[in-house]
Amino acid sequence: MTRPDAPAAAERPADGVPRRNWAGNVHYAARRFHRPETMDELRRLVAGSDRIRAVGTGHSFNRLGDTGGDLVSLAGLPPSVRLDPQRRTVTVPAAMRYGDLATFLHEQGYALANLASLPHISVAGAVATGTHGSGPTNGNLATAVAGLELVTADGDLLTVDRASDSFAGMVVGLGALGVVTRLTLDVVPTFDLRQYVRLDLPREALDAAFDSAYSVSVFTDWRSPRLREVWRKQRADQPPPPADWLGTTAADRPRHPVPGMPAENCTAQLGEPGPWHERLPHFRLGFTPSSGEELQSEYHLPRAAAAEALAALDGVAHLIAPVLQVCELRTVAADDLWLSPNQGRDSLAVHFTWIADAAAVLPVVAAVEERLAPFAPRPHWGKVFGLAPDAVAATYPRYADFTALLRRLDPHAKFHTDLLARYFPR
């Protein structure tokens, strides 16, 4: 939450392909870096490589996207966007950022139903890892996908949609099934929201807070039994929360989720109405989120177990607090995508933004995972986690089906990485 959205100019290579991830904790091990400008060039590159991965905006905090072979950026491919008002879909290039897509859609009178807290992330990368926004009835970003185009291991171009076999297994594909080049997303009519920040929520009111608005994020520092901030993103035509809403008080000025960071980087608050894409994210597209470095972990749990899970984490709050910048709690609606962290269950997402000190953070991550183990946690695929492969597999009913799909589409492990090999051994 505290890194700029691109490397500094001096670190930006001439070919435009990043050599490290957004947070700076992963330096890519690829032998070669590529930025093709045509589909034919990309297909030849994929067909001729023994190991290859696509890289977007680099917002993963682990080595899911790292490879010792070829790393390819799709930012040089034609940036065409095709809106289909009759089908209410939009087809976009994989490398497009959500913020740029949202601006285009709003100008055309359309919207996406959900957005993540950062509009700087690429569409394909967010979808592939099951990245999400928030809301009691909002699915994660991958649930909007109506179709995919990808280059498979032999260089062929494969197009699939919701009527295709195994489509639900291919959407959250971890980049392991091929290089996704285009995605078709569902759209809805554009809409306006207001954002209100409330302070000091009692823990027992958390469930009611989550159900109170279109999208809700709750921030805590694990230093107090009360929850520090509630960011409510409600439809603009709904009445504002009453002065005594759930025992909280209204923020009297704009806030940043991380204490001490500049609020001008954040989307408008204090109930000021505005279009969906300027309220659903926490951060504004034209600004860097803030400054500094970080690591992130995130776990998705059954929403019904929220109170018990948070009580379990209270037992390690004394470990969490010293290495934490902020913790965000969100809800995400259930879906049917095989490797989605929300597959089959309405979820509570517990997101930790840590300090940028792996030696200090990793033992705390292990303690958090031990506490959450009784609740069948699913890690965000692109964050820092250490859960055992069998524990992760046990939480996904279609895990074996995805493994079989992986072996069928990529029989020679062209798109595999060390992290994938741990969780999906060949």
* Residues 34-84: tens digit of each pLDDT: 999 999 999 999 999 999 999 988 889 999 999 999 999 999 999 999 999
**What per-residue confidence (pLDDT) applies to 104?**
98
* CATH assignment of 82-189, among 3.40.50.2030, 3.30.465.10, 3.20.20.10, 1.20.1250.20: 3.30.465.10
pLDDT at position 77 is 96
Q: What is the DSSP letter of 27?
A: B
70-73 and 32-34 strand pairing: parallel
Q: Please, what is the average pLDDT of the chain?
A: 94
pLDDT-based confidence at residue 157 (cuts at 50, 70, 90)? very high
Whether the CB-CB separation of 49 and 10 falls below 8 Å is answered with: no
In this prediction, residue 14 has a pLDDT band, given cuts at 50, 70 and 90, of: low
On the question of pLDDT at 280 being above 50, the answer is yes
Give the CA dihedral 116, 420, 390, 148, nearest 10 degrees.
50
User: Phi/psi of residue 408, each to 5°?
Assistant: -75, -45
Structure tokens at 175: 């980049």
H or E element: which one contains 325? strand 324-332
Which one has a higher pLDDT value, 98 or 23?
98
234, 279 Cβ separation under 8 angstroms: no
The pLDDT, as a whole number, for residue 288 is: 64
The letter for the amino acid at 16 is G
Residue linked to tokens 């995919």: 148
Give the helix, strand, coil percentages of the chain, each rounded to 5: 25, 25, 50
Q: Which of 6-10, 215-219, 289-293 has the lowest mean pLDDT?
A: 6-10
Which of helix, strand or coil describes residue 140?
coil
d(CA 376, CA 362): 20
Instruction: Kindly list the domain boundaries of the chain, sorted by start residue.
Output: 82-189, 193-389
Cα 250 to Cα 24: distance, rounded to the nearest angstrom: 36
If we measure between CA atoms, which residue out of 90, 83, 108, 214 comes closest to residue 145? 90
pLDDT band at 18 (very low <50, low <70, confident <90, very high): confident
From the CB of residue 143, how many other CB atoms can be counted at a distance below 10 Å?
A: 25
Q: How confident is the model at residue 290 (pLDDT cuts 50, 70, 90)?
A: very low
pLDDT, residue 407, reads: 96
Outline where 55-97 has alpha helix (H).
none
Taking alpha carbons only, the member of 419, 339, 307, 351 closest to residue 62 is 419
285-309 average pLDDT score = 85
Q: How many CA atoms lie within 13 A of 238 on its CB side?
A: 17
* Between 80 and 1, the higher pLDDT residue: 80
pLDDT for residue 12:
56
The CB density around residue 14, as the number of other CB atoms within 10 Å, is: 6
CA–CA dist 53, 46 (Å, integer): 9
Average pLDDT (160-164) is 97
Residue 15: the pLDDT is 79
Q: What is the pLDDT of residue 23?
A: 86
pLDDT for position 53: 96
* Amino acid of residue 103: T
Quote the tokens at residue 150: 């990808």
CA 152 → CA 45, 54, 290, distances in Å? 11, 12, 38
Per-residue pLDDT, 197? 98
Q: Which residues contact 248 (CB under 8 A, 6 or more apart)?
A: 198, 199, 200, 201, 230
**Confidence (pTM):** 0.95
Per residue in 206-220, pLDDT (tens digit) is: 999 999 999 999 999
pLDDT at 327: 97
Which residues sit opposite 233 in a β-bridge?
195, 215
Residue 270: pLDDT above 90?
A: yes
Domain 193-389 architecture: 2-Layer Sandwich (3.30)
